Structure 1
Amino acid sequence: MKKIEIFEQAMIVGNYDVVVCGGGPAGFIAAIAAARGGASVAIVEQYGFLGGMATAGLVAPISRFNLKGRRMIGGIPWEFIERLKEMGGAIVENPPGNISFMPEKYKLIAQRLVLEAGVDLYFHCYLTGCLKKDNEITHIIFHTKEGMQSITGRYFIDCTGDADLAWYADVPMQPKSNPLQPASLCFCLGGVDTAKLPLAHHNLDTTNMHDVSIQNVLNELREKEGIPLFGGPWYSSMIEEGYLAVNMTRFSGDMTKVTDMTNAECTLHEDVFRMVELLKEHVDAFKNAFLVTTAPQVGIRETRRIKGAYILTGQDYVEGRRFPDAISRGCHPIDIHHADNTRQNVTFLEKSPYIPYRTLYVPAYPNLLVPGRCFSADETASASVRVQASVMGLGQAAGTSAALCVKDNCSVDDVNVESLREKLISMGAILD
């Protein structure tokens, strides 16, 4: 493959204590936590809104906050849910604590909380690299309509989901799963008779919550007619009557590769229209349905994962192993989707796992924290923690740690873990 060399100057447009790359569920929570801890904070986000896979991917519901009816993730993440409820943008579905939501209100409440905390937002900025001295990141580089720009910082939090900043910084990565879990293009339907779809509300505690009857119909059609690959299907109420978020398309590939991502977008946009036709034809509740919108991008379940100071294993996770540096909990089932068929492997948890702080950093990189689905866990543990409520908990821990590092002028692996845990508990995190 031929290469060209490009030399371009980047205007330095900001200097902060903490720079968060990515404004998804982990990112905006991390930014709020760091700012409330006294740090000057910026978020660099490729879209013009916050929420990541919740709003850019239409991934619903926000799953999940409870295990066996007990809240396991608290603090700023739950404050966000309460604010969303107050605006009429969320329904809390117990006992699992799944949250049906309106994406537009999610965007607005996330934005309000971030701005109230004093965080600076850099929207429509696409991260393209970083500068570092030894292994300490000094600048991030991103492209804008004004050309290449840069921000300097003391500490950086990679909430890109795909570990983009960590990858640019040459952070060691774990081998990728082969195959990776598939991507899905979620979509919104109107005109649905939601009263005929009890699974539109995720208030069951020990089921996969997919529609088995429709799955059986689609499997028969796949055998007879060769309809597109699918998963589930799963639905989620979008609060307003007749509107439903649907997750059922499936594409196998590596979403860090431009060609795979492009093929996924093109293929799944075709598949969405075919799936809507099938639902209208074969399911009474959908007979008057119409496509409102597809997500701005495909939803991504799995790509890169860092090789941190500790790799959380599936065995750790299922057994609920306690860690002295636990900074968050898990409660979502282990959920591994098959890339080449319609199945998935689901393991329901008997106890809430603990997630150690050591999974958020690599010792040789003194000013980088990596929460979100690309944190340091094997493919089994990450298949649970990758969901929204769980990564919000990791983001809260990372932002809180970064603020403590600013105050103590220490590296991320030298932070006082007891002080970190005490601060998180005082904020409402559940670590017992």
Structure 2
Amino acid sequence: MIHDSRQQRRQFLQQAVAAGAGLAAGSVARGEDGSRPLADASRAARGAIETSADVVVVGGGTAGIIAAIQAARAGASTLLVERGSELGGTMTVGGVCFPGLFHAWGRQVIAGIGWELVRLCVEMDGGQLPDFSTPTGRQHWRHQVVINPFLYSLLAEEACQAAGVKICYYEFPLAIEESAKGCSLDVVGPGTTRRVACRQLIDCTGGADVVGLAGFERLREDETQPGSMLYKLGAEFQAGRETLQAVYVHGADSSNSVTRTEANLTGRRSVLQRIRKQRADGKPSHLAKLQPEASFRESYRILGETVVTVEDYVSGRVFDDAVCHAFYPVDLHTSSGVRPKHLDEGVVPTVPLRALAPKGSRHLLAAGRGVSSDRLANSALRVQATCMATGQAAGAAAALAARADAAALDVPLDEIRELLNEHGAIVPGKQ
């Protein structure tokens, strides 16, 4: 197990903020030797856009979209910070456009805002939902919903704007501080430096990047599960009608730009090798589709007030502070592939609010792949329907905490559950 060093992170951030300030401010005076010194943090402060919000969500992927919409629909002024140019994350940019699982053992266990968007996407694209009344046995993928990723991205953006979410594309935080009243962030993008103050902050980066920047402990393994580079050879790819082919990207790690770059280079080399082999074998080799980046299964997770264990998961433990269900086989990928461990019939796991709260924080939550869990539990909790559910739970808790000027864990649990229920979510014990 690898642990962060807070001192190393802070030293790096001081340098990075200064560098970002210079880029955002434009020209920097040269020294006597002709060199360009790094701008100091005061330059960033002078040129920064001052922004405030009740809730800030970092990461506009599977969980972050839903967290932001829920917070905004609950009345919180909400800012969504996304490093890329579109919403959806793994579902769109990564090409894993078959979210699941929303149903278990003949009943729906995850609904809410995520399900609302998925259903709308299928309907608008003229697609068809699976027959959820038909048992799948060990073929759990039959209940995944194939969607058009391009349309989903547009619908997610529309829903965010309709709810009042302010979207900040091409931006990412370089420094974060938590105080007694909330969090402050230094956020940078091309030509932009933003200083943001918020009451509640939600990390939906997938790899707990924000939690790490804020100085809270994270968990990860010595090795990571392989990622996937998705592509299509042969006939034209029909979005919303079929899924893509995939090659494993061994060692794929989304922790930083260096490891992300290596994962993408490795994945693209593998696809090119496949094309050449197809040509040599006289098989269709037209590259109809290639996703712009690899999808990642594993990096950092938060160390929360509760850590969901695989024993909790496979037993279907109903936590006292459960805020949503989860449903998927334990799905650990290795270099030799994956052999899902299916749940016993009738078992439906739950996710506690404390697994969304970094240990020792008051104004910070996390949702999506980075929830507090051991490795095996996380291999099941990381899937898209569950990410949507944890995102909605975090958004509801953050909105209520901001309204009450309190920590999320100090908000009465019944209020969080009631708000989730009002917005269509299925809360354990409430249906």
Is TM (by shorter chain) over 0.5?
A: yes
1:163 has 2:208 as partner: yes
Q: What amino acid does structure 2 have at the position aligned with 1:118?
A: G
2:229 paired residue among 185, 210, 234: 185
CA contact (8 A) 1:61 1:99 kept: yes
In the other structure, the counterpart of 1:402 is: 398
The within-5 A match list for 1:195-214 is none
In the other structure, the counterpart of 1:294 is: 290
Q: In the aligned structure 2, how far is the partner of 1:276 from the partner of 1:385? A: 34
Q: Percent identity?
A: 31
Change (3 A) 1:291 1:13: farther
In the other structure, the counterpart of 1:12 is: 49
The within-5 A match list for 1:201-350 is 238-239=239-240, 244-278=243-277, 287-288=283-284, 290-338=286-334, 341-350=335-344
Deviations 1:163-184 (A, max 9, x none): 111000011112x223211122
Q: In the aligned structure 2, how far is the partner of 1:55 from the partner of 1:156? A: 24
Q: What amino acid does structure 1 have at the position aligned with 2:169?
A: F
Deviations 1:302-334 (A, max 9, x none): 111111010000000000011121111111111
Equivalent position SS for 2:116? helix
Q: In the aligned structure 2, how far is the partner of 1:150 from the partner of 1:94? A: 48
Deviation at 1:421, TM superposition (A): 1.4
Deviations 1:44-70 (A, max 9, x none): 001111001111111131122112332
1:356 has 2:360 as partner: no
Q: In the aligned structure 1, how far is the partner of 2:73 from the partner of 2:419? A: 11
CA contact (8 A) 1:19 1:155 kept: yes
Change (3 A) 1:358 1:281: farther
Change (3 A) 1:189 1:64: farther
Please list every run of 5 or more consecutive structure 1 residues that lacks an aligned counterpart in the other structure: 195-236
Deviation at 1:264, TM superposition (A): 1.7
Deviations 1:271-302 (A, max 9, x none): 012224446777x9xx4452133222211111
In the other structure, the counterpart of 2:58 is: 21
In the other structure, the counterpart of 2:372 is: 376
Change (3 A) 1:349 1:254: same
Deviation at 1:153, TM superposition (A): 0.7
Q: Is the deviation greater in 11-20 or in 254-263?
A: 254-263
Deviation at 1:401, TM superposition (A): 0.7
Q: In the aligned structure 2, how far is the partner of 1:369 from the partner of 1:94? A: 35
Q: In the aligned structure 1, how far is the partner of 2:342 from the partner of 2:94? A: 25
Q: Is the deviation greater in 353-362 or in 1-10?
A: 1-10
Equivalent residues, number: 380
Q: In the aligned structure 2, how far is the partner of 1:168 from the partner of 1:372? A: 17
In the other structure, the counterpart of 1:223 is: none
Equivalent position SS for 1:413? helix
Deviations 1:88-125 (A, max 9, x none): 17542233531111111011010111111111110111
Q: In the aligned structure 2, how far is the partner of 1:21 from the partner of 1:46? A: 9
Q: What amino acid does structure 2 have at the position aligned with 1:21?
A: V
CA contact (8 A) 2:252 2:296 kept: no
In the other structure, the counterpart of 1:86 is: 123
Equivalent position SS for 1:334? coil
Deviations 1:152-199 (A, max 9, x none): 11110000111111000011112x22321112212244506x9xxxxx
Q: What amino acid does structure 2 have at the position aligned with 1:121?
A: I
Equivalent position SS for 1:365? coil
In the other structure, the counterpart of 1:423 is: 419
Q: In the aligned structure 1, how far is the partner of 2:277 from the partner of 2:97? A: 21
Q: In the aligned structure 2, how far is the partner of 1:343 from the partner of 1:168? A: 33
Equivalent position SS for 2:101? coil
Q: In the aligned structure 2, how far is the partner of 1:116 from the partner of 1:396? A: 17
In the other structure, the counterpart of 2:183 is: 138
CA contact (8 A) 1:124 1:144 kept: yes
Change (3 A) 1:137 1:304: farther
Q: What amino acid does structure 2 have at the position aligned with 1:50?
A: L
CA contact (8 A) 2:254 2:299 kept: yes
The within-5 A match list for 1:74-113 is 74-88=111-125, 91-95=128-132, 97-113=143-159
Q: In the aligned structure 1, how far is the partner of 2:103 from the partner of 2:232? A: 26
CA contact (8 A) 1:401 1:420 kept: yes
Q: What amino acid does structure 2 have at the position aligned with 1:12?
A: I
Q: What amino acid does structure 1 have at the position aligned with 2:147?
A: F
Deviation at 1:343, TM superposition (A): 2.0
Deviation at 1:252, TM superposition (A): 1.2
Q: What amino acid does structure 2 have at the position aligned with 1:323?
A: F
CA contact (8 A) 1:180 1:254 kept: yes
In the other structure, the counterpart of 2:5 is: none
Q: In the aligned structure 1, how far is the partner of 2:387 from the partner of 2:403? A: 24
Q: In the aligned structure 1, how far is the partner of 2:127 from the partner of 2:221? A: 34
In the other structure, the counterpart of 1:233 is: none
Equivalent position SS for 1:186? strand
In the other structure, the counterpart of 1:36 is: 73
1:73 has 2:110 as partner: yes
Equivalent position SS for 1:93? coil
Q: In the aligned structure 2, how far is the partner of 1:249 from the partner of 1:259? A: 18
Change (3 A) 1:147 1:46: same
Q: What amino acid does structure 1 have at the position aligned with 2:379?
A: A
Change (3 A) 1:273 1:73: same
Change (3 A) 1:280 1:100: farther
CA contact (8 A) 1:186 1:249 kept: no
